[in-house]
Amino acid sequence: MNQTKIEITALAKSFGANTVLKTVDLKVLAGEVVVILGPSGSGKTTLLRSLNFLEQPDSGVLEICGHRVDVQAGKKLSRADKQQITQLRQKTAMVFQSFNLFPHLTALENVIEGLISVKKAPRAEAIVKGMALLEQVGLSAKADSYPARLSGGQKQRVAIARGLSMDPEVIFFDEPTSALDPELRDEVLIVMRNLADAGMTMLVVTHEIRFAQEAADRVIFMEGGLVVDDSPTEKFFGEESSERIKQFLSRH
């Protein structure tokens, strides 16, 4: 039976008077690729950022890679909670829309930075691993290039290699192709498909309908801060899907 990697219950988040997540429940099993679709402002990115506490949820229970945090409204996180957050972050990786590479480091240095500073790997060992990861994303020839000399697609592939360097159990992708020109998107999507095929657990916020059709095990549809549909991919894109989903897909 597949192990549960992510289980969240009644997750809620507001920014001032604006409630962005109402009560979100979500479960992701090991090796699953789950794509989150929905209109702008539906809470997709906030959900993703709440899972590794880049945004602190207002309330809800999160269990990610075996680490559990129970966030209670109006109550500060305990020291034990903060330790759980540190540990779950070490088992997850986040790939952002805007790459977030260090401009003063080469592609290889960006990939190995976390290995050396967080995991305390010896530099020589980190370089061997970093080169293997750049090879995996098709960029070993760009190891010594700085981000300013890389295309958007290349930057995003370096960012994926950087995430993989930490041996994550789960990777979160936040609209990884939305800042890219159409011809550069495919090179990133191919790397993501290869990761999916290799059994990586992935939670992907994207507008790439084709990627969802080809790589997702399940598709979640969010609207108004709620998960309004959670279906196997075939059902989501099939005749059985709701009128609201058909309407959304017809515009994309």
pLDDT tens-digit readout, 68-80: 999 998 888 999 9
Given a cut of 50, the residues of the chain with pLDDT beneath it are: none
CA–CA separation, 173 vs 52, rounded Å?
12
Say which residues have a Cβ less than 8 Å from residue 38's Cβ, sequence separation at least 6.
Answer: 44, 221, 222, 223, 248
Task: Give the per-residue pLDDT at 1.
Answer: 55
Q: In the structure encoding, which two tokens stand for residue 29, read together? A: 């099993």
d(CA 250, CA 252): 6
Beta-strand pair 201-205/170-174? parallel
Q: How far apart are CA 125 and CA 104, in angstroms?
A: 22
Q: How many CB atoms lie within 10 A of CB 132?
A: 14
Neighbour count for residue 35 (Cβ, 10 Å) = 24
Task: Give the CA count within 13 Å in the CB-facing half-sphere of 231.
Answer: 18
> DSSP 3-state assignment of 85?
helix
**How much is the pTM?**
0.93
Element (H, E) at 184: helix 182-197
CB atoms inside a 10 Å sphere around CB 214? 13
Model pLDDT, residue 131: 97
